[in-house]
Structure formats: C-alpha cells, structure tokens
Amino acid sequence: MQCPCQTILVSSVDEWPSTGGGGFAGGGSGGWGVVAGGGGGRVSKCNQTRVCSTMEGQTQLVFSSSETDKYCKELEVAVGAVQMACLLCERVQESLISKTNGQPGQVHSKDDNSPVTIADWSVQATVSWVLCESFGSENISIVAEEDVEALSKANAAGILEAVVDTVNNCLVEAPRYGFKTPLVSLGTLDVLEAISRCNSTGGPVGRFWVLDPIDGTLGFVRGDQYAVALALIEDGEVVLGVLGCPNYPMKKEWLSYHNRYHRIIYKLSPPTSESWERGCVFYARRRSGNAWMQPLLHGEEKLLWPNNARQIQVSSIDDPAFATFCEPVEKANSSHSFSAGLAHSVGLRNQPLRVYSMVKYAAIARGHAEVFMKFARAGYKEKIWDHAAGVVIIQEAGGVVTDAGGHPLDFSKGLYLEGLDRGVIACAGAKLHEKIIGAVDASWSSSSL
C-alpha cells in the first residue's frame, strides 16, 4: 500500500542545508515531487500542506499525495521556469556590470524612456517557451510587458541575434530544472514567436499567465535588486505567484545596502552548498495559507522539488513606531514626499527601505519589512504584472494588500489595475494595515497628489 504522506526535514534558520548536488532526492514509494533531472520531464503528486516545529531547530514539511492539490503542476512548472530565468538574468547582469566584458547595445530605451535589455526579451521568450512546452501552446495565454516591435526593426539585427543566443544558452540548462531541451536550437522566428505569443489582454474570464520578465530593469542594469515575476490568474483572481530575486541577500541587514557592496563580499566569499549569501525564489498558491522560499540553483545542482523550501511569514510587528516601510527607488511614478509625511504622521521611526522592483513584496512576506506604500502621480496607471505575483505571496504569508481605500486589488480589468483608490498599501498584518489606511485618509486632503 502506498503511504499517503511523506515527511522531510529542512533547516528553519536563514541558511539552507547542503543540497548534495540537487536538493531532496524524491521518488520512493510515496511518489511525490520527482523531477527527472537527466532527460527533462516532470512528475508531481506533491503538496506542501503543513509546517510543524520539531526539535533541534528543524522544520517539518508534510507533503500529502492524497489531498486535492489544485495548481500543483502549474506551480512546479512556474517555479522551475523562474529559477531558469534567474540563471539567465544573472549571466546577463554580470556581463552588463563588467567593465571588461560588457557588450555595447545591451540596454535600450522604450517609447516611455524606460530601459529594456536583452535579458527582458530573453526571459520572456524562455518562460513563454517553457509554459507552452509544459501545457501545450493551445492552452497558454500570457500577459507580459515586452513586445517584438523594437526587435523587428531593421537596425535591431544585432540585438535580436544576442537575444536568440541568450535564450538558447539558457535552454541548454533546461534538464537541470526539470524540462526537456529543445530538439534543435531555437531560430530567430522561434524566439520572436515565443515573445509575441505573450499578447493576451487579460480580463475577468478564463486563465492567463502574467509575466514581468525583469521587474526593476533600472535596478538590474545598475547591478542592484530586480525580480522575475510570474503569476497565474483565473477568472480575475491571482491563484499562484512566483518571484525570483537573484540578488536578495540572505542577511536582512544587507537588504538596505546598495547591491554593489554585497556583490564585492559575495565575490570574496562565494556561496557553497553549505552556505548561502543571496538568491531566492518566493512562491505561494491562493488559499493555501503558506508561502515559501527556496534557494537559487548554483553550480551543477538540479532542481528537485521542493528544493530545500522553507516557509516564510510576515513580521509580527503591528506598532508603526517599530515598522520598516518600503517604497520605490525612483520618484518618477511615485511620491516620496507623501510617503514620508505619512510615515511621520503614524510614528514610523525607521529609515525607509528604498529598493527596486517587487523585491519590496518579498521583503514584507519574509518579515524583513512591514509596510509598502506606493502612491502614483496623476496619470500613471499601475500594471497588473507589477503586482500580481507579489500580492498573493504576501497574502499567503499572512499579510494584507489593498488599495488605499481598503479594497482588494482588481486583476480582472485587463492590463491595468483599473479603479485603484489612490495607491497600493501592503502591510505585515491587519492591525498595522488599518492604522496605515487611517493615516492615508487623514493626510490625503492636504496632499498634492
């Protein structure tokens, strides 16, 4: 008789145990969480359902193959795709910030003057290809930030060639992440098709994926924080989210440092299988009551589900005086002055944590910060890909995310968060959230937003 549950032990401290070249060796009689490392393919019957404390600082993760696990395959594929995308991004970022190896023309400007890199297009093509190979292209609808217009111009031949090479170099590594390598390398038309396939406009009915290939591109090109964000929306509701944060430091104190500082430390003392300094993937499923993080793969490791995952929870701080709040680094699409005034009015004493991208959502979910406030300037509309993955991760970690009126964010209106009341507020708990909402109401009439 097959045992319905399998139990494994992982460390509950801030450093993962040794993966022994690829995390937990699944399989066995229970049949949970097996990823075929050599030839690709993915078999899954697992569900991370419960966390129990045990002796000697261990955490017990209970996996049940007998319980209903909606979106289990989708989650595993999404985590694998984001892990692989993070590998791609790390390689491109290293090239960007290297004085000797940097390639001209890797950073470009879109029509709104925001930056885009070969990594943005390459990640979009890679994730699109993985999703279609895993579920069938006829079953996949994707909303994503980038399009092929710039790549299709006559003067973009060099850029497009770099994107094709980057995608193929990444897909060579596919078996490490549980996917099959393409039978032949993708050609230019294949890559353009994979990017252009991400043309869904979302909406209230049906299922679609939401991808931000590099959230925080400015941070990415500066060698700082950025995220790869992938979410699944069904009938207007975010049902799972995955955030890859390649530069997220394992030590909380380093999060507020400019990444160039701890990149130096990282190079002087690179991580081993026994010690990790940076790089996480965060993920959660709607209504599971759990949010998780796992380390990025390094070296020749293979992704064996759940890859030393550990549960994360929001901070228990509910007094604004002791809370840390996050806000965007750039002032272009948000008001630092209003956030600062609001922080003062509720007694926030800590310096704001200004960090690029949805890493802010990860910081709150992990308990490294308590409040994220973003109040857009007039005329700016929040896009769904900038929030979807982060929102579900915070909520399942025990936090609260709404607009400034206390309403849930609405992902059913297309590409934008239509009907947003003033701004977005994410907090580590309901009590803190209530205080912040009250402060917004009290301060709004005197603001210039």
Question: What is the secondary structure of 285-322 as a DSSP string?
Answer: ETTSS-EEEEEPP-TT----TTSS-EEE-------GGG
The DSSP call for residue 260 is H
Q: Which of 69, 120, 212, 403 is catalytic?
A: 120
Q: Residue 66 CB: number of other CB atoms within 10 A?
A: 12
Q: Which of 117, 126, 217, 402 is catalytic?
A: 217
State the Cα torsion 60-63-67-68 to the nearest 10°: 110
Catalytic annotation present for 217: yes
Query: Which helix (DSSP H) or strand (DSSP E) does residue 169 occupy?
Result: helix 157-171
**CA atoms of 94 and 99, how far apart (whole Å):** 10
Catalytic annotation present for 166: no
Q: State the residue for tokens 């003067």.
A: 155
- What are the strands, taking DSSP E only, across 120-172? 142-144
List, by residue number, the catalytic residues. 120, 217
